[in-house]
Amino acid sequence: MSDRYSPHIVLVARERHSDPHLVRELRLLDPGLGEVLVGENGLESLPRPAPSTVVVRAIAADELTDLLSKVKRRVRCPVLVVVSAELLESVGPHLAADDFAATTASGPELRARIRRLLSASADSPDVMRRGALVINTATCEVTLDGRLIELTYKEYELLKFLAGRPARVHTRESLLDGVWGYDYYGGDRTVDVHVRRLRSKIEDAEHTFIDTVRNIGYRFRKQA
């Protein structure tokens, strides 16, 4: 992994600074480490940008199950669970975590586990990253700043087509051919309607992905 790569790590726990050793080691990887508390009302707003990985710190089995459930509903990124050695022996394969570590793990071990998760996520051929937008072509999931975006099948196919060819201008006819197929008999107005609906779901004041090219069609912006 490049030394210039700056991961965004979020620590999720019941209490802030619940494990000073863990916080210290995580900040060696990400000086801007985000800490999120989980209360009775659920997971607080996740800091931006979208996390590269989430570390869950739990002290009991029921707490671990609850925290993982809340995290998995909010983000689509690797999750590392850190628990006591005693609890580590009792966790089952049903838990939706990508890796586990004991609280007694050394700093180098914790950092190595997180680097492995980050590397596996970044190098996956099934993941298309366009700024804050992430398209997983294996699961057909789309997230924006870590938040799952609900798309229809055609909206997803249109997004995948455009995002897979950033900066290229596509006519409405070429989009109809590429997304709907050459045997589709609808007019090019269909493209405009789907682009408008797609924009309403993935764009806001902070995010713009699709440009309209006057009298021609549409283009997906290159992301910095």
The CATH number linked to 29 is 3.40.50.2300
Most confident segment among 67-81, 113-127, 208-222: 208-222
Asked whether residue 41 is domain-assigned, the answer is yes
For residue 194, count other CB atoms closer than 10 A to its CB: 19
Of the candidates 94, 123, 9, the residue with the CA atom closest to the CA atom of residue 57: 9
Q: In whole angstroms, what is the distance from residue 37 CA to residue 129 CA?
A: 27
Mean pLDDT score, 86-102: 81
DSSP string, 42-60: EEPPPPSS--SEEEEE-SS
What's the pLDDT score for residue 155? Answer: 95
Higher pLDDT, 146 or 113: 113
Tell me whether residue 191 is in a domain. Answer: yes
pTM of the predicted model, to two decimals?
A: 0.56
In a domain, 215, yes or no: yes
Average pLDDT of the segment spanning 114-127: 73
End-to-end Cα distance, the chain: 19
Of the listed ranges 28-42, 55-69, 124-138, 201-215, the one predicted with least confidence: 28-42
What are the counts of helices (DSSP H) followed by strands (DSSP E) for the chain? 7, 13
Is residue 4 included in any domain, yes or no?
no
Q: Considering the chain, what percentage of its residues have pLDDT values greater than 70?
A: 84
Which residues form the domain of 207? 127-220
- pLDDT score of 42: 60
* Selection from 55, 58, 42 nearest residue 8 by Cα: 55
Q: 93 pLDDT exceeds 90?
A: no
> Which residue is it, tokens 């480490």?
33
